[in-house]
Every structure is written in structure tokens, then in C-alpha cells.
Chains A and B, each alone.
Chain A
């Protein structure tokens, strides 16, 4: 990151948003650095859409400031307001909002011609983007003739083709069912991270990925936030209640909502035919000198290579004896810590796989769990969700 003469960060988004809409009051400060994906995670009605509207310029601020790439976009105190068409912010909307009367190619070219590019050149550039999104042959199709995943990639290409200073994805997986969500989340992870490091050999050639563009992901789904984002901001009732990396949030949730969301277990590994060999990031050697690799079984057999497996803490069952029955994943571990969190008791598990499990206080009492207690863990293969690991 570079700095200008006043010491303010150049590039990236700094937003200090104060807005009042009727009874609802929004007061949020957040920043997204160049090349970073930040997630704004919160329940419905927390004010996520209002923040998108304020950043994109669809709703003027009552107070505060929005600064992007060194430009002030909205500052009521200084009577500055840049209209949305001059903000250079690409937005991927829920349900994509592709122009129905244009084909995929002209949807992607729309922003370029809006900025004064000749139509022929804009179409050439748009074709490059479609090629990069594996949609090269579908440029002539209207949006209703495209699948959900294809529409999402067209929407992403349309937003990125304008080379925006910020990419905002507003509930990009919003109204989809669980299977489609998992598939499209992978899709999005792959394309959000492409072109991330270094860019292309020739500076003149356009890069066809999100690259160093700061990205703000708006979502109510913790899996989206933890899988796709480097930094997560939790929004509750118009206020940010916690900000941090997914790991930080999981280690020390500040509110009940954050605790519920942030217990999500993320495990990095390598997938092959539904078997995930878990990467060993524990630097201490085991007494025997070599650790046996931990293998997780997932119901999803379609993924290969580096993956991020997510397991909800409530999907982890704990037992005193080795459980019999169908769970594919069963192993022995010790409880490292036991935290009562009101309705649930959170148990932090130790080697070989440090996971968080949420059980009822009653079950915790029955199992007599204390730090150091030996436990059996079981997880169904269907509870292990996979996404491509976008981190390097």
C-alpha cells in the first residue's frame, strides 16, 4: 500500500457511513485494502443493503465520508457527492440483474461504451472477458438462455470489464438452493481470486480477474464470508460488532450472533475422490517423528486439488465411547477447552484436527467433558462442504 502526502492510504476503500432512515440508524466504519476481499456479514435487516447503496452512490450519506482510490466520493460536511456513474464501482447484484434486452456480449460491453469506448473495440474487450470466464461461445445468448452459473459469470465480467476501483458483490448467491450455492460459491471463489498475484506479463494487456481490485462481499451466509473473504466485518442492527480475519473471529467471537456464525470450522486440504488429506500446519513433530495424515471423507466427490472444507460446529458429534453406525469420519481426540456460551457449550478439540464443536449444555454435562477429557468425534460425510481454496 502507498500513502499520499497527508498520510491517508491510497487505493482501497475507506468508508465511514452515517445514515438515518426513519427509526433505523446506521453507523459503520470499514475499509477494504487493494487486493483484499472483505465480507460484510449480518442477518437480514442489519443494514447491509443500505451500506451497498451508500457506497455505490445510490443513497447519499447523512454524515461521514466514503473514500475510494484516493478520491472522496461522498462527504456531506464538504458538500461532495459523486454520482454513481462516476464512482468506478462495479456491483454484482443479487439475481445478477443482466439487461434482458441485450445479449451476454453487449451486457459486458455496456460499461465500456458508457465510458465512451467505440462499440467495435468494446465488443472485442467484452469477448476477451467472456473467453476468460469460459463463456466465449455464449456471447450471443440473452440472459434467460443462460444457466445461473453462466449468468453470474456474465455479471462478474460486466462489473470487472470497466476496471472498477472497487467490486461489490451484493448477496451474489442470494436466492439459490443449497446445491446451487455450493457450486456457484466455488465458481465465484475461482474467479474472485484469479489474476490476484502479479498480474500479466504485459502491462497493456487487460487482466481478466478481480486482481488487485478491492472486493466487498455482502452476505448473510457465514460460509460465503469465511470461504471467500480475507477479512470479515459482522454487522448487527446498523453497527459493526466485530471485525477480523475468519480465524480471529472463530477464536474470539464478541457477540452471540458472531459466536453462532464464527464456530464454522475451516479445514484446508487436498481433495481426491471425496477424500480430503488435511494439510498439517502443526510445526511440532509428533513423538514418532512423523504424523499420520488426517483424512476427511466428504459426500462431494467432484472436487480435486486444494480445497477448503467447512464443517458446522453443530454437525460434530462427541462421544465417550467409539460410536457405532454410519458416520464416515470417526477419530479420537481430547477436549482442550470447554466454553459455556448460553444456549450452547462450545468444545475446542485438540490434535489431530483442531475443530470447534457446539453441543447442548446438557450433553456436555452428561459426557463429563473437562479440558483433557478423551473423546470420540464423528462427522457425517454429507456435513463436510467443499470449496476450492482460493488462498495461496
Chain B
């Protein structure tokens, strides 16, 4: 190549310019570094404190296994409830124009900003043994939601459903309405349009919504402990077990925490690869 030096010079020049543009101003760089440290430090602490040799013993103890089984069952059930209730709600909020729509949207997304303990207390006042609905329900059927697995699922769904509603409503608003109109002109009933066109087309967003709702349910603490208590083997989920173990058995608490951290990290990596736009 006869003009190689020229080409190299030009490349070198543009490379230098790009590097200069990509370097952040020093205050930005400093604050960003502090941010990273802020998030990394607790993880370092957890890993440093981990009882690596006895890890399996702790994790296979009755106390941890019971909590893990309950957590998995109740978080999956809560994610299912969140999808079942959240998707229709999102559809109504996105597609139907009615007075008070903003008020309804605020109401159903309230648990996202409400302290979970307050949510749990509110659930208790409504559905507890002496609650406005819970009392008559107990008298009529003998069913008691608090301090049962049903209470755990309800508390988890209460905090997880708003995530589904917001994500799915956004996806529905971004979907070109003409796909649904095209399906209707092809003879598809409204339910078939929803099932065969709308839901598949917002599939990625729906997937993210359900997974995020599930993760939120898995980590739920405040609403669960207030509404369902922390009864070992009945309502004590993994986050509750960590809290209890911190008092009695720190190694077990750290072991459970490591599992939850690994699970969350794995989830985020999986989500990034599948659904989040990678560069």
C-alpha cells in the first residue's frame, strides 16, 4: 500500500480524538467511581465473611431448605398472580379511556412507592381475622389469609404486580395499533387478537415484566413479615430467614445471602443478554 503512512496518520488522529471525547470530566469520573464502590463494597463484605468450608452444611439445614422451598413456591405463585392481574389491568389502562383513569393508575402502582411494612399493615387491616373483608370471610369459610402461605403469596403479589402493570402498559402504548386492526380485519375475535397478536408482539416486555416481578417477590420482606409473620416452615421466606439468622447463626445468614446475590446477578445477566439492547 503506497499511501499507508497517510492512512495510518489519519487513523491515529481520529483514534486520539475519539479517546479524548470518551474521557469524562474528572468530577464525573470521581462520582461514578464512588458509585461503583458503593455497590461493590457490600458484596466484598459478604464474600469476605462467607463461611466457605461449611457453606453446604448451612445451606442444607432444615431451616434454610424450608425457607428456600417456601420462597420459590410463593414467589412463582406471586409472579403468576401479578401477570394474571397485571396484564389485563395494563391493557385497560392503555386502551380504554375512562374518567378516573389516572386515579386508578396511581392506586394500582402505589405499592411501588409505599413502604412495604405499611402495605402489609394495610393488608392486615383489610384481610386479617378482624379486617373489614377478612372477618366476614373467616366467619363464612374459615379461611384465614394472614400467617399462611396464602398470605405470603398475597403480600408478594401486592408489591410485585405494579411492576408488571407499568412495564406492560408502556409496551402496549408503544405497539402500533394497526397490527391489531389488521388481525381484526382477518376475522380474529378480540380475545384471539389479544392472545395471538398483542401478547406475542409485546412478548419480550412481558417476559421482562414477569421476571422482574418474580425477583421483587423473591426479595420481599416488609409486607410479608407484617401480613404473614415469620413462622418457620410456614411463612418464613429466605429474606426473613436471613433476618432471623443474623441474630442466632450469622454463617447461615451469610450463606443464604450469597445464594440470593448469585441468583439476582444471574438474572440480570440473563435479562441483559436476552432482552436489553446490547451495544
Which residue numbers of A lie inside 8 Å of B, CB to CB? 56-58, 83-91, 93, 97, 99-101, 110-111, 114-115, 158-159, 162
Which residues on A sit within 8 Å (CB–CB) of B185? 56-57, 84-85, 87, 89-91, 159
Given contacts A110-B196, A114-B192, are A97 and B179 in contact (CB under 8 A)?
A: yes
Please pick, from B188, B200, B201, the residue contacting A114 in the complex, using a CB distance under 8 A: B188
Which residues on A sit within 8 Å (CB–CB) of B183? 99, 110, 114
Contact status A99-B197, CB under 8 Å: yes
Can you name the residue of chain A whose Cβ is closest to the Cβ of B184? A84
0 or 1 for each of B26-43: is its CB under 8 Å from A? (1 = yes): 000000000000000000
What 10 A-B pairs come out closest when comparing CB atoms?
A111-B186, A114-B188, A84-B184, A114-B187, A101-B200, A91-B185, A97-B182, A115-B187, A97-B178, A85-B184
Q: What is the CA–CA distance of A159 and B179 in the complex, to the nearest angstrom?
A: 13
Counting CB contacts under 8 A, is B203 at the interface? yes
Which residues on A sit within 8 Å (CB–CB) of B178? 93, 97
Q: What is the CA–CA distance of A350 and B192 in the complex, to the nearest angstrom?
A: 60
- Taking the nearest CB of chain A, how far is it from the CB of B127, in angstroms? 40
Q: What is the CA–CA distance of A111 and B183 in the complex, to the nearest angstrom?
A: 8
> What number of residue pairs across chains A and B have CB atoms under 8 A from each other?
62
Which residues on A sit within 8 Å (CB–CB) of B184? 57-58, 83-85
Query: How many residues on B have C-beta within 8 angstroms of the other chain's C-beta atoms?
Result: 19
Given A110-B183, A114-B189, 6 more A-B residue pairs with CB atoms under 8 Å apart are A56-B185, A83-B184, A93-B182, A100-B201, A114-B188, A158-B186
Contact status B188-A101, CB under 8 Å: no
Contact status A101-B181, CB under 8 Å: no
Given contacts A99-B201, A101-B200, A114-B192, are A162 and B179 in contact (CB under 8 A)?
A: no
- Taking the nearest CB of chain A, how far is it from the CB of B87, in angstroms? 17
Counting CB contacts under 8 A, is B176 at the interface? yes
Which residues on B sit within 8 Å (CB–CB) of A87? 185
Given contacts A99-B201, A100-B201, A101-B200, are A110 and B181 in contact (CB under 8 A)?
A: no
Can you name the residue of chain A whose Cβ is closest to the Cβ of B177? A58
Q: What is the CA–CA distance of A90 and B187 in the complex, to the nearest angstrom?
A: 9
Which residues on B sit within 8 Å (CB–CB) of A158? 186
Can you name the residue of chain A whose Cβ is closest to the Cβ of B181? A58
Which residues on A sit within 8 Å (CB–CB) of B190? 85
Contact status B197-A85, CB under 8 Å: no
Which residues on B sit within 8 Å (CB–CB) of A84? 181, 184-185
Contact status B187-A111, CB under 8 Å: yes
Which residues on B sit within 8 Å (CB–CB) of A111? 186-188
Contact status B203-A110, CB under 8 Å: no
Which residues on A sit within 8 Å (CB–CB) of B192? 114
A-B pairs with beta carbons under 8 Å apart, 12 shown: A85-B188, A85-B189, A91-B182, A93-B181, A99-B179, A101-B200, A101-B203, A114-B186, A114-B188, A114-B189, A115-B187, A162-B186
Q: What is the CA–CA distance of A114 and B190 in the complex, to the nearest angstrom?
A: 11
Contact status B176-A110, CB under 8 Å: no
Chain B 178-232 interface residues, beta-carbon cutoff 8 Å to A: 178-179, 181-190, 192, 196-197, 200-201, 203
Can you name the residue of chain A whose Cβ is closest to the Cβ of B176? A97
Q: What is the CA–CA distance of A272 and B108 in the complex, to the nearest angstrom?
A: 69
Contact status B188-A110, CB under 8 Å: yes
Which residues on A sit within 8 Å (CB–CB) of B197? 99
Q: What is the CA–CA distance of A136 and B196 in the complex, to the nearest angstrom?
A: 24
Q: Which of A89, A110, A162 has the most CB of B within 10 A?
A: A110
Contact status B187-A85, CB under 8 Å: yes
Q: What is the CA–CA distance of A56 and B182 in the complex, to the nearest angstrom?
A: 10
- Taking the nearest CB of chain A, how far is it from the CB of B142, in angstroms? 45
Q: What is the CA–CA distance of A91 and B187 in the complex, to the nearest angstrom?
A: 11
Can you name the residue of chain A whose Cβ is closest to the Cβ of B197? A99
Q: What is the CA–CA distance of A99 and B185 in the complex, to the nearest angstrom?
A: 13
0 or 1 for each of B256-279: is its CB under 8 Å from A? (1 = yes): 000000000000000000000000
Contact status B201-A162, CB under 8 Å: no
